[in-house]
Amino acid sequence: MKVSLFQIPSGLGRTELENLVVSELNYESSLGVKSELYLLPEYVNTSFLPEAIISNSVSRETLSDYFLFELSKKYKTNIVAGLSTYSMEVGNKAYYNSLIWFHANGENPIIYDKINLCDLPPYCEKNIFLEGNGSKFIRYGDQIFGLLICYDVYKEDLFREYQENGVSTILVSAAWPKIRIEKLIRILT
């Protein structure tokens, strides 16, 4: 399976983001090397800023109307995107840091919500988002995928659960600023 990773800045406007994704899909199609799956970073629709999250989050109830859903069907490819989402709960908006799998065949999108919210200034996600409530497995072809977002990589129990359930590939969507990347490198070395 061919997978393409988009390393693009978070918080692009909808038009910029759509143009960038369409350009990449058209470019790969013109070369005859289309991927079966495209992974976009965390916060691709909002950025880390609370005001951007509140004003640009996508309604979970209307994901099948979102442009990435339409693009995944049109180009017959899977698009997995890190989006800030919201749902209406008891009359109020509840926000989630989500990873959405838009299926090539037009099935309803699958939503995974970040479990391990970052609580480090200036990105105190716990002040904005609700925590996710569990892992997410997706069977595609002969593979089982697990989904993680950013700081979820520090939850060892998620990796164990994925291993116990036959996950062959883990997709991690992240939008790490340079300081976080340097910290991860120190941890891994």
Q: What is the pLDDT of residues 39-60, one digit of tens each?
A: 999 998 988 888 888 999 999 9
| pLDDT digits 0-9 by tens, 86-119 | 999 877 899 999 999 999 999 999 999 999 998 8
Distance CA 114, CA 98 (A): 6
The per-residue pLDDT for 60 is 94
Maximum average pLDDT range among 12-21, 86-95, 158-167 = 158-167
Whether the predicted model's global pTM rises above the 0.75 cut = yes
DSSP 109: P
Q: How long, in residues, is the chain?
A: 189
Angle between helices 14-31 and 67-74 (to 10 degrees): 10
